[in-house]
Structure 1
Amino acid sequence: MEFSFTLYQPKKERAPKEMAAQIEVRPNGRIVFNKKAAELLADRHFCMLGYDREKNALGIMPVAEQQLNSFPIRYASKGAYIGAKKFFKHFNILPPKVIQNAPVQTGQFIGIKL
């Protein structure tokens, strides 16, 4: 007796996407780092924030210790975030909607266009 078997061949599995570093600036004043972008913080727990009016960019400088006017960095399983509503209100740059961009490492700063 002969059989004509058809072999089970599942669909090809997708290769996991290489996650690009992304930072979100939210209307509530929170700066959110995805897991890849959080690596740029080098496990520091505080940061200094700066604003470049000319280029409309946010600068984040991770620091080892708490300093005057530094902001705490909170780490989570999916990345990290900084609560910086006072900073955004000070410069009057609180965004009306979520802004998401790729970060750029420039010297000590992590930069993001707003």
Structure 2
Amino acid sequence: MSDERDYSFTLFAPHRVRQPKNDQPAVEVRPNGRIVFNKNATQLLENNSFCMLGYDPEKRALGILPVEELKPNTFPVRYAAKGAYIGAKKFFKHFNILPSQLVENTPFKSGEFIGINL
């Protein structure tokens, strides 16, 4: 007794399979004005304690220039166990580019700058 109808069975799979962690360099720009580097992206900062920020309006890109010492218009880089962050709300408000939701992108090098497309 064979039945010729096609069946579409769904397998019982109650346990979630963990997705492998993203170990690629990534930078988030958050609506609160924080620029957050994951552990691998933090290496691009080369342990500098400060940075200067720039914006390319044509390409809608953020440029981060790591610097060693505090100067006028620098932003402190805060290092943590899982990466680093820069509080830059004033910068984003100045250029009117504060994102309404989280933006995550792969950073790129452009000369001495670390670039992120917004």
For normalisation by structure 1, the TM-score amounts to 0.85
Correspondence for 2:105 among 101, 109, 114: 101
Correspondence for 1:73 among 69, 73, 77: 77
Runs of 4+ in 1 over 3 A off after TM superposition: none
Q: Paired residue for 2:87?
A: 83
> Kindly tell me: are residues 64 and 56 of structure 1, through their superposed partners in 2, closer, same or farther at Cα, counting changes over 3 Å?
same
Q: Paired residue for 1:23?
A: 27
Cα deviations by residue, 1:54-104 (Å, 9 ceiling, x for unpaired)? 000000000010110000000000000000000000000000000000000
- The structural deviation recorded for 1:106 is 1.1
SS of the equivalent of 2:98 reads: coil
Report the AA paired with residue 94 of structure 2: H
Q: Which residues of structure 2 form unaligned runs of 5+?
A: 1-19
Question: Cα RMSD between the aligned structures?
Answer: 1.4
Q: Paired residue for 1:61?
A: 65
- The structural deviation recorded for 1:17 is 5.5
What are the equivalent positions in structure 2 for 1:32-51 lying under 5 Å apart?
32-51=36-55
Following the alignment from structure 1 to structure 2, what is the Cα–Cα distance between the partners of residues 36 and 58?
A: 18
- The structural deviation recorded for 1:42 is 0.2
Q: Paired residue for 1:8?
A: none
SS of the equivalent of 1:51 reads: strand
